[in-house]
Structure 1
């Protein structure tokens, strides 16, 4: 099996990645430790808060490249200006001696709100600025009159700068870790991954029985998960490469624009997988020897193309002969007729995706010395260098919708500082610091994140206490003992159980004990910090519950209705007279809603039920799977329509007459599927059947169950034979009219190739229609199950519920 040797390869890659990240982080911490413990006395006087230097290292160095670190330098500078400037002025005006528990907490809360309010400020900059605010005000209050209003913020800035410079040195020594090199390596791995998946897909299609095909599909699915992670890493490195272009102009800008091209290839491979999964039996009925030989040659050609053009940059040279590249798809010209029944559409859809993959895998044509439209400006724009004045100025932009989240976080930060100081004045800043450096810009699973943060803090703190106990007199060995812990924490960060929040908390917990001296007995500090962390997390949870009582399960339900409404709009826009760009734009809107639904489902799965009704994660998971497939199907349908739009320009006016018949079939399809989705969206939005019945009774509204038959016959029937026949008639009519379109192509130069392209595109569109109908039925079953789960004592009849909703809507709308 091809996947057998891939398991140890993936394990080695994971170990190599984690070890490299842990080594760089440990090196940065060692640099901070050497500078603060053995450096000149003048340096030690300036860097008064080595603990915050370590925190800065952890915030910037998490799986960072040199570009990330250079970006981190800019973010740290921006954060220092944003937080320390106002803090310096406040301390000078008020005076540290006049601060109290309450005024300190208030000052921290107000400063935190100012930092959090701008939406476009980078998350790392916000975390650094929030940490600086906590250190400045709380330490200023703890030291009282001994605090210098001007020099105290300067020392905090120096401590931040020490951590930032240590990150830069750690990424340069012993050799720089460049984002372009990481992108190059991951592009190579993704090219090999895509080539292997392609071979497995073709092998499955050519299989002699279902068992062999299933084995190949299963192996390909394992590679798909790895490919998705590689694609995410490549996109992540693209944001870092622009920061490396300024200091390393001599380096070739590898893979700056490869993300979109690689995404297109992933989509084509996903379509081939969908086609195989819908294949009832292997081998297919229309799979003859000539097609099989041509398919194998095309697979070989695409694999070679992907491997040779790993970067997908303009001007990538290929060693494949041009004549071979042109003739490789000629075998598709044998496809001159539309399949008579929809049972064979999956095979044509596979070939359509194969040809789509062939076109997407080719590199872009070479463009030498591109001329800038706005004059002779540099090819490397200020935005690419990361120094766009527009980007910096936009970070100050405010939005009203940010006020409530900013106020909520500032409240939790202020309360954590207040209660932390009440519990222990010397260690009061740790409660606020734990909240500040774990700030999240987006909504997150509050209880799960708090749980993993607490566990990570305890694990790291206990490890630090044990390290101090074993190597109390050997400071150098204490620093070296950080390496295995950083390696372990790297695995924690990549695990589902702990994630980034738990892994980072574990790292900070250990380094704050092993990397410092003269902070008292380690065990006492450990207990104090654990308690302060618990106070900070508790304040965050309480404020979150008070100001955001909407549970993730409720948000998932709302987002499900929005996704279905957007799906209704997408299906309604499908037409041969609509441009591909408009269809793709609608598909992107649906994808945004579906991705948001997936986030809410993930959060709802880990939130505690308390006294609420349990979340039906299995049902929501199936609904999300069907919606995700429909997102892909709509995209493939848009591509098919785009190809038809291009090829139709070669035809005469007879195309316009025939396309009206196809649009008539599409209208019937949209009426059936679109109406069903529209009412499913309304049904999914109701709170409960009891409330719906009470509203009808309260307003004395009667409903007629026959009302539901007007939009579509047998509308909410459970996939019965009548409805199946109706859908089959629509598909059969579409295929028949598609064949009429193909038959009018004659007497045109290159007519055979044009005909085969029309056959593939129309068959692919027919497959998308059939699959959309199938997935809509799956969504209907999922909504029925979900409504029954929420109303266990009621008998669920979707047709009857739709009639009640229509009657209530008519009463409320009509005066």
Structure 2
């Protein structure tokens, strides 16, 4: 882990230094440039804010993309604000008119769904400066020059960001992705080594240590995957459509998912092993696993570097081993105890064969018309353009929310202090996101960050009052500190940005009056803005995050039940299971977001949020999502190559599977209803009229899977017994050895997945019992 921690510190330090450099460029331009330039850069505060928004943790490609968003937002603001000033007249711009103009302009800019969030935030801040500045300067405001000055200050921040990103050398997204890919490949190779050490170990303690080390490496892999996906978009802005950017790099995120899922499967298999050593792993299989590990490591090396093919060829003497199936000689050991090892071998087979286990049906093109029909192509293009600009309900709510919050913030801020009325709107202009957020947490972090930065600025301005030319020096360590503060749990992005801007507005500007009076006025204005922000967020999203997590858990159970009901060995998974699986992943991701928000939000007078229970439920559901990926892949293979089993045996397998589906689905359905009600007693009372006791189904959801775990195990055992018979039939068939081997592993993997789905369902049942009690 130390080898991964040090690069993270270096990356964050380099990003912090680039941010400090960009702020220094802005400070030098606004404080020490020729007077005509300084007279035109009348809003240095917004230059700093633009710089902080663009540079932090960005690559050159992301910076160029953000600069394009700045240009797009500036064109919108200058055109619309000049029109508004010309129609109304600067002399008639009162507090009420400024608030109304702010609300309407923000709504128009925020409504289109195709506009990037960065463009909207930049535009919000520019509107605040234009309209509040017009109120402050009154009739002296020049209609065209004033918005142009706001645009020039914004452009200075964008230009400083690009210059800082070029020094001492460009931080290219391509190299960031390549480096993260290299680190991920090393991480994957290390995890693979640890997991193979564990399953091959003859000592239980050594095996458990290897599993523990592998799990710790899995956390680093998740962060690396997140970093790669974050930087992929920036690559397109650096060198598009050039050989340097090959198509395989554009699909890198998908390829890594194809690799990550089987490695997760190995971890699940080892976690299900009751003890070590594993009986069925003999010396021959250990040698096979070690040789397979070598081959996969070589493939990882080849994927990391564009090296000649001879550098990654298989060592001499090993080719014959790799050509043999991983599983060839054991047929009579398909029991509960052997399923984890068989599933482990199946995951190795997936890695060796590069099988597409994570295919997403949502990537298929929606326009299936003939390419030769130019009219049809034009219609398809028009439809895509209309879909991109058409405002949805979510966009309408977002636009209305931003409009009301900024309108009231500007109005109240001007009433409180006309000269410093900017800060109530600017404080929240960069705070909006398109969906929900932890409102109280964000507002609290911004308030604390603003106060912390202001106090820092006042202290060091007092210390440097005799050497005013060096007032920019304290900015450098503060920017570095606040950059690390952004990655802390206490302050986060919101608090870190506010703390950085709070000091920059005092140390990086001139002619704003008494520093202490300015700091107090700005803190008060910030509190006004944050109050408007909080009230509007609560008005539009009145439901607590804990309640949303509960409701989302209920929906996730419903989506999970649909996936379970979609398991059918007679048809390929592409007929519906993969689409249901994609929806389930989306629901579980939302559940994770709501749980994180609920854990940070205050409880007020409500009961404390049961974060531990929900996190365990989330862990079980995430595991079931991964298991269903394997089930979908198994379905495709079994439905195509199940000729070796007799029709009678197929019928038994399908009957057992249907019975398990009914049991699991019924339990999930009842749990979903329990979560939707206020108490277990209320559910049982309502359920008496829906469930017939003569059918043998209890209204108590905790009894659906049986009175004890042994009953569920017995049901799974029947299914596994028929799978074992199918394995023996397949192995005794006349098919090719490789096909037989894959069918054996596929059937065994299906048995492991079904058993694990049953176990995780019972774990969720126990956690729900704790919640309702």
State the TM-score, normalized to the length of structure 1: 0.86
Alignment of 1:716-755 (within 5 A): 716-717=702-703, 724-725=710-711, 727-740=713-726, 742-744=728-730, 746=732, 748=734, 750=736, 752-755=737-740
**SS of equivalent to 1:596:** helix
Q: 1:335 to 1:594 in 2, by over 3 A?
A: farther
Aligned partner of 2:753 among 768, 772, 775? 768
Q: 2:730 & 2:414 partners in 1: Cα distance?
A: 83
Tell me the equivalent position of 2:377.
Answer: none
Tell me the equivalent position of 1:528.
Answer: 521
Q: 1:117 to 1:251 in 2, by over 3 A?
A: closer
Alignment of 1:142-153 (within 5 A): 142-153=136-147
Q: 1:220 to 1:518 in 2, by over 3 A?
A: same
**SS of equivalent to 1:480:** coil
Q: Does 1:570 align with 2:563?
A: yes
Q: Does 1:244 align with 2:238?
A: yes
Q: Does 1:502 align with 2:495?
A: yes
Q: 1:463 & 1:116 partners in 2: Cα distance?
A: 35
Q: 1:316 & 1:107 partners in 2: Cα distance?
A: 67
Moved more, 402-411 or 758-767: 402-411
Question: How far off its partner does 1:160 sit?
Answer: 1.1
Q: 2:35 & 2:241 partners in 1: Cα distance?
A: 32
**SS of equivalent to 1:343:** coil
Q: 2:315 & 2:404 partners in 1: Cα distance?
A: 67
CA contact (8 A) 1:580 1:641 kept: yes
Once the two structures are superposed, what CA deviation does each residue of 1:402-425 show, in whole Å capped at 9, x if it has no partner?
Answer: 333322222111111111111111
**SS of equivalent to 1:284:** coil
Aligned partner of 1:180 among 174, 193, 203? 174
CA contact (8 A) 1:565 1:681 kept: yes
Alignment of 1:151-190 (within 5 A): 151-190=145-184
Q: Does 1:675 align with 2:666?
A: yes
Q: 1:677 & 1:117 partners in 2: Cα distance?
A: 39
Alignment of 1:583-598 (within 5 A): 583-598=577-592
Q: 2:742 & 2:197 partners in 1: Cα distance?
A: 24
Moved more, 477-486 or 775-784: 477-486
Q: 1:157 to 1:489 in 2, by over 3 A?
A: same
Q: 2:594 & 2:476 partners in 1: Cα distance?
A: 36
Question: How far off its partner does 1:589 sit?
Answer: 0.8
Q: 1:560 to 1:250 in 2, by over 3 A?
A: closer
CA contact (8 A) 1:420 1:428 kept: yes
Once the two structures are superposed, what CA deviation does each residue of 1:314-356 show, in whole Å capped at 9, x if it has no partner?
Answer: 9997332598456326262334425342221011011111121
Aligned partner of 1:412 among 405, 430, 438? 405
Q: Does 1:707 align with 2:693?
A: yes
Once the two structures are superposed, what CA deviation does each residue of 1:149-192 show, in whole Å capped at 9, x if it has no partner?
Answer: 11111111111111111111111222111000111111111111
Q: 2:261 & 2:284 partners in 1: Cα distance?
A: 27
Q: 1:681 to 1:715 in 2, by over 3 A?
A: closer
Aligned partner of 2:23 among 29, 36, 42? 29
Question: How far off its partner does 1:719 sit?
Answer: 7.0
Q: 2:530 & 2:626 partners in 1: Cα distance?
A: 40
Q: 1:322 & 1:504 partners in 2: Cα distance?
A: 57
Q: 2:355 & 2:305 partners in 1: Cα distance?
A: 10
CA contact (8 A) 1:341 1:732 kept: no
Question: How far off its partner does 1:720 sit?
Answer: 6.0
Once the two structures are superposed, what CA deviation does each residue of 1:218-271 show, in whole Å capped at 9, x if it has no partner?
Answer: 111211111110110011110110011149876667832211111221111111
Q: 1:123 & 1:231 partners in 2: Cα distance?
A: 23
Q: 1:15 & 1:163 partners in 2: Cα distance?
A: 26
Once the two structures are superposed, what CA deviation does each residue of 1:757-798 show, in whole Å capped at 9, x if it has no partner?
Answer: 11111111000011011011111111222111xxxxxxxxxx
Tell me the equivalent position of 1:811.
Answer: none
Alignment of 1:72-87 (within 5 A): 72-87=66-81
Q: 1:703 & 1:254 partners in 2: Cα distance?
A: 58
Question: How far off its partner does 1:392 sit?
Answer: 7.8
Aligned partner of 2:770 among 780, 785, 801? 785
Q: 1:514 to 1:726 in 2, by over 3 A?
A: closer
Once the two structures are superposed, what CA deviation does each residue of 1:710-743 show, in whole Å capped at 9, x if it has no partner?
Answer: 4589974397676623542443344334433541
Question: How far off its partner does 1:676 sit?
Answer: 1.1
Moved more, 175-184 or 538-547: 538-547
CA contact (8 A) 1:464 1:511 kept: yes
Q: 1:567 & 1:437 partners in 2: Cα distance?
A: 37
Q: 2:505 & 2:389 partners in 1: Cα distance?
A: 33
Moved more, 403-412 or 732-741: 732-741
Tell me the equivalent position of 1:292.
Answer: 286
Q: 1:223 & 1:123 partners in 2: Cα distance?
A: 34
Aligned partner of 2:392 among 396, 399, 416? 399
Tell me the equivalent position of 1:470.
Answer: 463
Tell me the equivalent position of 1:357.
Answer: 351
CA contact (8 A) 1:662 1:738 kept: no
**SS of equivalent to 1:104:** helix
Tell me the equivalent position of 1:309.
Answer: 303
Alignment of 1:145-544 (within 5 A): 145-246=139-240, 255-310=249-304, 318-320=312-314, 324=318, 327-328=321-322, 330=324, 332-337=326-331, 339-360=333-354, 396-474=389-467, 477-544=470-537
Once the two structures are superposed, what CA deviation does each residue of 1:283-324 show, in whole Å capped at 9, x if it has no partner?
Answer: 011121111111122112212221232269999973325984
Q: 1:602 & 1:589 partners in 2: Cα distance?
A: 20
Q: 2:632 & 2:474 partners in 1: Cα distance?
A: 56
**SS of equivalent to 1:442:** coil
CA contact (8 A) 1:339 1:763 kept: no
Tell me the equivalent position of 2:615.
Answer: 621
CA contact (8 A) 1:454 1:533 kept: yes
Tell me the equivalent position of 2:597.
Answer: 603
Name stretches of at least 5 consecutive residues in structure 1 with no aligned partner.
Answer: 1-5, 363-372, 376-387, 789-815
Alignment of 1:609-648 (within 5 A): 609-648=603-642
Q: 1:393 & 1:170 partners in 2: Cα distance?
A: 38
Q: 1:271 & 1:28 partners in 2: Cα distance?
A: 45
Question: How far off its partner does 1:754 sit?
Answer: 1.8
CA contact (8 A) 2:705 2:711 kept: no
Q: 1:548 & 1:559 partners in 2: Cα distance?
A: 15
**SS of equivalent to 1:494:** coil
Alignment of 1:80-119 (within 5 A): 80-119=74-113
Q: 2:206 & 2:284 partners in 1: Cα distance?
A: 21
Q: 1:166 to 1:517 in 2, by over 3 A?
A: same
CA contact (8 A) 2:59 2:173 kept: yes
CA contact (8 A) 1:76 1:125 kept: yes
CA contact (8 A) 1:562 1:593 kept: yes
State the TM-score, normalized to the length of structure 2: 0.91
